Amino acid sequence: MKLLVENRDKVRILTMNRPEKRNALDSELTQELLKQLRVADAEDAVDAIVLTGAGQAFCAGADLSEFKELKDPQAAEARAELTMQLHLVFSKMTTPVVTAINGAAMGGGAGLALAGDLAVMVRGAKIGYPEAKHGIVAAIVMANLVRQIGPKAAFELVALGEGIDGERALALGMVNRVVPEGQLMDEALYLATKLASLPKAAMAQTKRLFYEVLDLPLEESLKRAREVNRKMRGFGKP
């Protein structure tokens, strides 16, 4: 199976399972990951998600061997749409996601690592956007990267294509924690369990509002926040 699914109480663990390909995203894995994220988000018994990779890498990005076979423009467009939907789904879900970056996260894999609401990275892992070195563009992953770390740092990463280590990623605000090898899943599950322990309705509204205000002017953000404040006061005690 290219994606492993496991439950730890109220936490759903999704593990990309193509270690021989450094968990590169082919269409099958991309579709299954998108599906399982939506399934987990819809399940009442799941209150948080951890996403990680099997083996030595988190995710090497798109499976380039598959892209070489996409000669039909419509097929290439469909693949790009699938990739876009995968990176978009995290902000559309109400269930919080913790990414556990167990190894190299490159290109689309770096995008996945940052797409989670919280991120834990093992010391010694690397995050990078090497697309420009290969004559292509870190296109779909760029929007989220710029939002998270700002224009100057983001441009350096996508233009130079150089990987950065956990300490640099932490300094840039790309990840929340950097931990020694062997402590990654413990820390990721600790954070996920804390998120899962919060009232579900409050967590859902917090996440929804958070991603809405990212793209709204201040006045509109405050108006939207006022609406949520009124709504949440109506919930009473959980």
CB 14 within 8 A of CB 3: yes
- DSSP 3-state assignment of 22? coil
For 26, 60, 113, 159, the CA distances from 80, given in Å and listed in that order, are 12, 17, 18, 21
User: What are the catalytic residues?
Assistant: 131
Q: What are phi and psi of 123, to 5 degrees?
A: -60, 135
The CB density around residue 124, as the number of other CB atoms within 10 Å, is 12
Angle at which helices 218-233 and 200-213 cross, to 10°: 170
Question: Residue 72 gets which letter from DSSP?
Answer: S
